[in-house]
């Protein structure tokens, strides 16, 4: 219904006007009766109105003055003036100032009033429809603009759009209100999102909408701007103070866990004072998120707490030297443990994950270049590609292990192809029986060869004395076993068929220059340092 205010300084006329017709049947509702223009303005302020019916002559603020005031306040409704005989000049002035129609009080009939208000109702309904259309258009325009703004900001943060290009699209883009000096913000990141998409949630878009709704709900009173970078990473910005931001972010983490059974990490930003400032903060957020490579999850940290990445250049040189030493000794497999331990130490030092991946790839290429016979290049390329695309430290260690095993197998195979069949049989027998005391007679009987011929052909093919080779294989195995923290020197000696520990100590020192116990102690200290 449309609202009506009736103004006349005669109380009896005001009452008569209220009862002269059935206002509601014409879709009008009287919200106030006033004795002068001032009362009209007060009622208008409290109730609002679509139609004001006013006498022209009233004590206090009269009808003409009321029309002036209504126009000053941009009143958009209809104005109907009431006059007496002889007030034609006043009527003309009222119509000139903006009144929509007039009636003579003395000759006023219900039908005459009904015809006028029906005409007003049609005009008001038409105006209402136009206002609704304009409001809908404005709402859709604002919504489209917000979507476009968020989309452009996302491209800007990701580096796909320059600041100049951003401003060319939205010259007045600015997060800050006149009454807000700066914003606080943060980032919500879904932990292990690939696994979640595979095992828990298939509809990524539905998940994204749910998470954004949880964020909006938590910030409902204060308001929040959300920039979804993708389906697992969301930047959010608000006007609240930092302590409140921290509390709300913890609530968001808990709610997502409660409703979706998903762990999320969060990084908080204490101050955002411009779009450029947001970009700088986002860069730091990305750096912190890269540390999730090391398995960190469900954390809450401020961007200011992150002091940068660790430096592993010195450690890399030490490990590279050790790898080269293993290669020289023919202990290619030993490098798997070296690289694994290197990765673990880099994790503790917060080494930049992309640097760690490049370091490990370099180490694997080092092994490949020294040991690998150049065939099956496509397989090698594929395995190296998996190293470069590792999503986390466990994948990196696993992929490097697979590659080193593959290189080692190809190397052994290439060596086997270069030896005579009898020599390969000798080597296989030794490796298979490494836990036993192996003698020349045992080997000769196993491969059905004369002892003298066996020694001669083995030396000719490998360049090594058979007994030296047996001890070499045993010492390599012993060295690997000694690296395990829970093994005893005596147990290692027994596992390679050397029950005499003094003899084992003497042979080991001959190969590596230190006793087994000293080697084990030095290795453990190096690993734990």
Per-domain residue ranges of the chain: 2-129, 174-305, 313-418, 421-528
Burial of 503 by CB count in 10 Å (0-12 exposed, 13-18 middle, 19+ buried)?
exposed
Q: Which SS3 state, helix, strand or coil, does residue 373 take? A: coil
Distance CA 272, CA 61 (A): 53
Determine which helix (DSSP H) or strand (DSSP E) holds 184, and give its type and residue range. Answer: strand 183-190
Residue that the structure tokens 């990196």 belong to: 396
Distance CA 128, CA 2 (A): 10
Chain centroid, CA 383 distance in Å: 29
140: DSSP letter:
H
In this predicted structure, what is the pLDDT of residue 176? 54
**Half-sphere exposure of residue 256: CA atoms within 13 angstroms, side-chain side:** 28
Architecture of the domain defined by 2-129: 3-Layer(aba) Sandwich (3.40)
Contact (CB, 8 A) for 209 and 236: no
| Strand partners of residue 269 | 185
Contact (CB, 8 A) for 51 and 120: yes
Give the helix ranges, DSSP H, for 261-392.
275-290, 313-328, 334-348, 353-371, 377-388
CA dihedral 142, 146, 152, 158 (to 10 degrees): 180
Q: How many CB atoms lie within 10 A of CB 340?
A: 17
pLDDT of the chain along its 529 residues, tens only? 999 999 999 999 999 999 999 999 999 999 999 999 999 999 999 999 999 999 999 988 999 999 999 999 999 999 999 998 888 899 999 999 999 999 998 889 999 999 999 999 999 999 999 988 888 888 887 777 777 888 888 898 888 888 888 888 776 665 555 566 788 999 999 998 988 888 888 888 899 999 999 999 998 876 788 899 999 999 999 888 999 999 999 999 999 999 999 999 999 999 988 888 888 999 999 999 999 999 888 899 998 888 889 999 999 999 999 888 887 777 777 889 999 999 999 999 999 999 999 999 999 888 877 754 455 567 788 888 999 999 999 999 999 999 888 887 776 666 655 667 888 889 999 999 999 999 999 999 999 989 998 999 888 888 889 999 999 999 989 998 998 888 899 999 999 999 999 999 999 999 999 999 999 988 877 765 5
Q: How many CB atoms lie within 10 A of CB 394?
A: 13
**Matching fold, domains 174-305 and 421-528:** no
Chain centroid, CA 101 distance in Å: 63
Tell me the backbone φ, ψ of residue 407, rounded to 5 degrees. Answer: -60, -45
Contact (CB, 8 A) for 247 and 233: no
First-last CA distance in the chain:
82
Distance CA 469, CA 471 (A): 5
Tokens of 330: 């023919």
Nearest to 99 by CA among 67, 124, 137: 67
pLDDT tens figures, 352-368 = 999 999 999 999 888 87
| Strand partners of residue 190 | 264
Determine which helix (DSSP H) or strand (DSSP E) holds 7, and give its type and residue range. Answer: strand 2-7
Distance CA 204, CA 51 (A): 53
Distance CA 247, CA 15 (A): 59
Architecture of the domain defined by 421-528: Orthogonal Bundle (1.10)
Tokens of 329: 């000794």
Distance CA 160, CA 96 (A): 59
Question: 174-305 in CATH: which number?
Answer: 3.30.70.270
Determine which helix (DSSP H) or strand (DSSP E) holds 58, and give its type and residue range. Answer: none
In this predicted structure, what is the pLDDT of residue 199? 84
Give one DSSP letter per residue of 76-105, joined into a string. -SEEEEEE-TT-HHHHHHHHHHT--EEEES
Tell me the backbone φ, ψ of residue 183, rounded to 5 degrees. Answer: -110, 160
Q: Which SS3 state, helix, strand or coil, does residue 36 take? A: coil
pTM greater than the 0.75 cutoff:
no
Q: Which SS3 state, helix, strand or coil, does residue 515 take? A: coil
351: DSSP letter:
B
Q: Which SS3 state, helix, strand or coil, does residue 22 take? A: coil
At CB < 8 A and 24+ separation, what contacts does 178-183 make? 180/239, 181/273, 182/271, 182/272, 182/273, 183/237, 183/238, 183/239, 183/271, 183/272, 183/273
Tokens of 323: 């790898």
List the 225-230 sheet strands across, edge first: 225-230, 233-238, 183-190, 264-272, 300-302
**What residues contact residue 139 under an 8 Å CB cut-off, 6+ apart?**
none
> Taking CA 226 as the corner, what is the angle to CA 225 and CA 232, rounded to the nearest 5 degrees?
170
pLDDT tens figures, 387-431 = 999 999 999 999 999 988 888 777 666 665 566 788 888 999 999
Give one DSSP letter per residue of 292-317, joined into a string. GGGT--S-EEEGGG----B--HHHHH
Q: How many CB atoms lie within 10 A of CB 404?
A: 24
């Amino acid at each position: 219904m449309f609202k009506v205010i009736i103004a006349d300084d005669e109380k009896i006329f005001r009452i008569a006007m209220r009862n002269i017709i059935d206002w509601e049947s014409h879709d009008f509702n009287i919200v106030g009766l006033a004795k002068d223009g001032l009362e009209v303005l007060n009622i208008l302020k409290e109730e609002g109105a679509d139609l004001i019916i006013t006498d022209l002559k009233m004590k206090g603020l009269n009808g003409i003055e009321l029309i002036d005031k209504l126009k000053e306040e941009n009143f958009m409704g209809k104005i109907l003036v009431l006059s007496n005989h002889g007030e034609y000049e006043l009527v003309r002035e009222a119509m000139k100032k903006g009144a929509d129609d007039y009636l003579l009080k003395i000759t006023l009939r219900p039908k005459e009033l009904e015809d006028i208000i029906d005409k007003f109702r049609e005009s008001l309904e038409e105006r209402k429809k136009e206002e609704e259309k304009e409001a809908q258009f404005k709402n859709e325009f604002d919504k489209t603009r917000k979507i476009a703004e968020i989309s452009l900001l996302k491209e800007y943060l990701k580096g796909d759009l320059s600041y100049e290009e951003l401003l060319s699209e939205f010259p007045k883009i600015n997060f800050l209100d006149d009454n807000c000096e700066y914003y606080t913000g943060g980032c919500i990141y879904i932990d292990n999102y690939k696994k979640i998409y595979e095992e828990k949630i298939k509809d990524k878009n539905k998940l994204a909408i749910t998470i954004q709704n949880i964020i909006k709900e938590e910030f409902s009173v204060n308001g929040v701007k959300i920039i979804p970078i993708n389906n697992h990473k969301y930047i959010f910005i608000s006007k609240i103070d930092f302590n409140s931001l921290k509390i709300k972010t913890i609530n968001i983490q808990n709610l997502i866990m409660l409703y979706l059974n998903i762990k999320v990490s969060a990084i908080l930003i204490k101050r955002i004072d411009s779009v450029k400032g947001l970009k700088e903060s986002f860069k730091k957020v990305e750096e912190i998120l890269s540390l999730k490579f090391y398995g960190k999850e469900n954390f809450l940290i401020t961007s200011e707490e992150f002091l940068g990445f660790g430096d592993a250049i010195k450690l890399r040189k030490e490990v590279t030297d050790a790898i080269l030493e293993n290669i020289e000794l023919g202990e290619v497999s030993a490098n798997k443990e070296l690289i694994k331990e290197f990765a673990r130490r880099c994790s503790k030092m917060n080494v930049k994950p992309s640097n760690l991946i490049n370091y490990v790839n370099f180490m694997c290429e080092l092994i490949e270049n020294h040991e690998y016979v150049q065939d099956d290049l496509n397989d090698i390329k594929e395995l190296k590609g998996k190293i470069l695309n590792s999503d986390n430290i466990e994948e990196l260690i696993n992929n490097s292990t697979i590659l080193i095993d593959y290189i080692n197998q190809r190397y052994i195979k290439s060596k086997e192809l270069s030896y005579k069949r009898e020599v390969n049989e000798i080597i296989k027998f030794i490796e298979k029986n490494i836990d036993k005391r192996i003698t020349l007679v045992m080997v000769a009987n196993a491969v059905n060869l004369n002892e003298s011929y066996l020694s001669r052909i083995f030396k000719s093919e490998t360049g090594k004395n058979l007994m030296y080779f047996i001890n070499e294989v045993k010492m390599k195995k012993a060295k690997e076993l000694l690296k395990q923290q829970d093994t005893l020197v005596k147990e290692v000696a027994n596992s390679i068929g050397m029950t005499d520990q003094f003899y084992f100590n003497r042979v080991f020192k001959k190969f590596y220059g230190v006793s087994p116990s000293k080697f084990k102690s030095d290795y453990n200290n190096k690993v734990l340092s």
